[in-house]
Amino acid sequence: MKAVLNGRETEAFEGLQRDDLLAVHRTMLLSRKLDDKEIQLKNQSQIFFQISGAGHEAVLVAAGVTLKPGYDWFFPYYRDRALCLRLGVTPYEMLLASVGAKDDPASGGRQMPSHWGHPAYNIVSGSSPTGTQVLHAVGAAEAGVIYSRVPQIPDRDARFHADEVTYVSLGEGATSEGEFWEGLNSACTKRLPILFLVEDNGYAISVPVEVQTPGGDISRLVRSFPGLHVDSIDGTDFFASLRAMRTATDYVRARKGPAFVHARVIRPYSHSLSDDEKLYKPPAEREAEARRDPIARFTEFLKKNGLASDDDLAAILSEVDREVNEAALKALAAPKPAKSTAQLWLYSPDVDPTSAAFDTPAAPEGKPETMVSAINRTLKDEMARDARIVVFGEDVADASKKEALPVVPGKGGVFKLTHGLQRLYGDDRVFNAPLAEANIVGRAVGMATRRLKPVVEIQFFDYIWPAMMQIRDEMTMMRYRSGNTWSCPMVIRVPIGGYLRGGGPYHSQSGESIFAHCPGVRVVYPSNAVDAAGLLRTSIRCDDPVLFLEHKHLYRQTYNKGEYPGKEFMIPFGRAALRREGEHLLLVTWGALVQRSLLAAQQAEKDHISVAVLDLRTIVPYDWNAIAMHVKRTNRVVIAHEDQVMCGFGAELAARIGGELFEHLDAPVRRVGALNCPVAYCPDLEEAILPQSSDVLKAIRETARY
């Protein structure tokens, strides 16, 4: 059948029948009416936040018509209500989120409304930071490719589809975020099956697009990306949107590469209920936008083509109103989460890495090896055990160029920790990442949500900061914010610390306390080769995100070498090791300060001060029981760490010891750490800045004498 549309004769409505078209209209209307209901509830203080999808409905329903819920993967941003409705999320489920109900499937009342997530439809929990989701989507798309290429993964067939698509959307403002460009880079370099939708409503809160994007047209900028299918459309026109989404999706399903649809939409309800666009958008512009309202346009189309009468439309409207009102009443009556659940699901409820299951005996073999060798062997053995493990980072591969691999020894990391992994396990499981730390962590988050096990490397702790958003706002919060529906168990290995004689401010940093302040991540800090092997295995086998800190100066020392403890050796988290017995004073320490503290304790012995040295080994969780037990015995404590004293992790320990063990103390708790400044390059300065054995000895003496 042919039909007349916009003055042109077209295939009958892109193959959609009358019922389909009425369903499209109904979903757009339902989306708008849900926004209206939320606005009403917010004004009545029955909900606490509102952000609308108004004006974006046409392109989103077109996306929903094209993509497959529970088959494709979805990383939608907060305007995507109409898409989520079309995928299957119900108005009641959406309003459960608005009221912060316990049974809200997106977050269990932990996130603002419109932060979508639904396991049944593969809608992965989204957050508030603009643009972070792009990297998750890239990782998820990559996960599908890895599943398709690694037959050793036992149940991989249940985890991917050969022609699946990963959808990610964002506003035009969010395309200014580095994470957008980092994601686009990887999508194109790896030709990933991912579909980007940029919903361009012309403003990011009050900032117009020409301030965000040179020339004001993001699709023009990305056209030069190799292999990227790019389309630019009026996203308020349902049929233009449908054609664009179908063409883009076909391109991705056919594995031709990634696709990018730039849809110009409108934003009639201001940015959110906390914003009033009349403050910065001229009336003429607002009026022009109103004329492009997608629902008005589609209604007009239905009427003009005799597909719906005024009565039909009124009936749909009243049915939608009834559904929204009923859903709202039900949601308002839904139970809220109990206050006692506030700290639930920071970590996996299923796998407890502090438990006896992770306390396995060592089976030492061979001769003493360095920490580098212990970590490398552990990675090799774990990758052999679990084909879901993928390793990537800067320079971690032996050689990215295929032709180079047979004729070169291989790089395998700037410190050689990953040497030989690519050769053993292939390019699909071990590969170099671009020089972009958020990219590494964000992609790993996306892969982990699809149950691969990324063990990634950040080349130096000093350069972890571009990934901080991904670590703090994404990796550590995924499980918590989704009410234990989504999680991203993964390991970030990071060379840390100084004492390099010349490391300078950017190759010497410490800062474990910063990550200890991010609930949801385990922080591990081994001081010797055997512990590194046991703790890394626990990190890989546990079900939580882990920051695994490897001290560069300890990598190749002789004093911390050990025999490789075997393929099953694990050390539980939260279990400190007493490195030296002592009666007069407890020295709590970790990392590079363990050896320095042992030397100081030896010296103190000459003054008849007997010092117990406790190596924490893990910072989160830390072994409070061991600390308390020894404090009660020795009544004096020194805490020694490499990081600055100011806000170092010792501050937390000292405060807790002071608060909970006060009556057992015969002296104030002393802390030893770095000066409150960067670590300078000149070795004399470095020595003055970082804590030395002599500093530890001084604190021991003062505390013992007090």
Q: Verify binding: residue 130, ligand TPP, rule CB under 6 A.
A: yes
The answer to the question of residue 70 lying near ligand TPP (CB under 6 A) is: no
To the nearest whole angstrom, how small is the minimum distance from the Cβ of residue 546 to ligand TPP?
25
**DSSP 3-state assignment of 656?**
helix
User: Which H, E and C letters describe 298-321, residue by residue?
Assistant: HHHHHHHCCCCCHHHHHHHHHHHH
Phi-psi region of 393 (alpha: psi -120 to 50; beta: other; left: phi over 0): left
* Min dist. Cβ of residue 246 to ligand TPP (A): 23
- Point out the catalytic residue in the list 115, 118, 271, 507: 507
List Cα–Cα distances, 694 to 283, 447, 604, 698, in angstroms: 71, 46, 10, 6
553 catalytic? Reply is: no
Task: Identify the residue among 34, 165, 174, 614 touching ligand TPP (CB under 6 A).
Answer: 174
Three-state SS at 216 = helix
| Residue placing its CB nearer to ligand TPP in the complex, 478 or 651 | 478
| Minimum distance of ligand TPP from residue 97's CB (angstroms) | 17
How far is residue 415 CA from its own chain's centroid? 26
Q: Are strands 637-644 and 585-589 parallel, antiparallel or unpaired?
A: parallel
The least CB distance from residue 174 to ligand TPP, in Å, is 4
Q: List the x/- string, 258-287, binding to ligand TPP by CB under 6 A.
A: -------------x----------------
Structure tokens at 191: 């030709």
Sequence-ordered list of residues with C-beta below 8 angstroms from that of 80, at least 6 positions apart, any chain: 53, 56, 60, 114, 116, 169
Is residue 453 a contact partner of residue 541, using CB atoms and an 8 Å limit?
no
End-to-end, the C-alpha distance of the chain in Å comes to 95
Question: Which DSSP string do the residues of 95-149 spell out, in sequence order?
Answer: HHHHHT-TT-TTTSS-S-TT---BGGGTB----SSTTHHHHHHHHHHHHHHHHHH
Q: Exposed/middle/buried for 226, CB within 10 Å: 0-12, 13-18, 19+?
A: exposed
Judged by CB under 6 A, does residue 203 bind ligand TPP?
A: yes
Beta carbon nearer to ligand TPP, 173 or 566:
173
129 lines the binding site for ligand TPP (CB under 6 A): yes
Q: Which of 205, 254, 408, 688 binds ligand TPP (CB under 6 A)?
A: 205
Residue nearest to ligand TPP (CB): 171
Is 465 or 624 the residue whose CB approaches ligand TPP more closely?
Answer: 465
Q: Give the nearest distance from C-beta 272 to ligand TPP in angstroms.
A: 8
> How many CB atoms within 10 Å of residue 432?
17
Q: Does 171 bind ligand TPP (CB under 6 A)?
A: yes
Residue 171 CB, shortest distance to ligand TPP, in Å, is 2
Stretch that binds ligand TPP, among 1-9, 170-178, 291-299, 425-433 (CB under 6 A): 170-178
CB of 580 to ligand TPP, least distance (A): 47
79 sits near ligand TPP (criterion: CB under 6 A): yes
Which residue number, 167 or 431, has a Cβ lying nearer to ligand TPP?
A: 167
Backbone angles phi, psi at 495, to 5 degrees: -65, 130
Our finding on whether 236 is near ligand TPP (CB under 6 A) is no
Query: Do the Cβ atoms of 60 and 81 come closer than 8 Å?
Result: yes
DSSP states along 337-398: PPGGGTTTTSS-SS--TTSGGG------EEEEE-HHHHHHHHHHHHHHH-TTEEEEETT-SS
Instruction: Decide whether 160 or 180 has the Cβ nearer to ligand TPP.
Output: 180
Among 65, 194, 204, 657, the residue binding ligand TPP under the rule CB under 6 A is: 204
Give me the phi and psi of 324, to 5 degrees please. Answer: -65, -45
Structure tokens at 136: 């998750």
Choose the binding region for ligand TPP from 169-177, 449-457, 536-544, 670-678 (rule: CB under 6 A): 169-177
Please select the residue that binds ligand TPP; options are 91, 173, 497, 565, rule is CB under 6 A.
173
Q: How far apart are CA 380 and CA 389, in angstroms?
A: 10
Could you say which of 14, 142, 172, 643 contacts ligand TPP (CB under 6 A)?
A: 172
Count of residues near ligand TPP by CB under 6 A: 15
In the complex, minimum distance from the CB of residue 54 to ligand TPP, in angstroms, rounded to a whole number: 11
> Interface with ligand TPP by CB under 6 A: which range of 95-103, 128-136, 627-635, 638-646?
128-136
- Residues near ligand TPP (CB under 6 A) are 79, 128-130, 170-174, 199, 201, 203-205, 271
The residues assigned a catalytic role are: 507
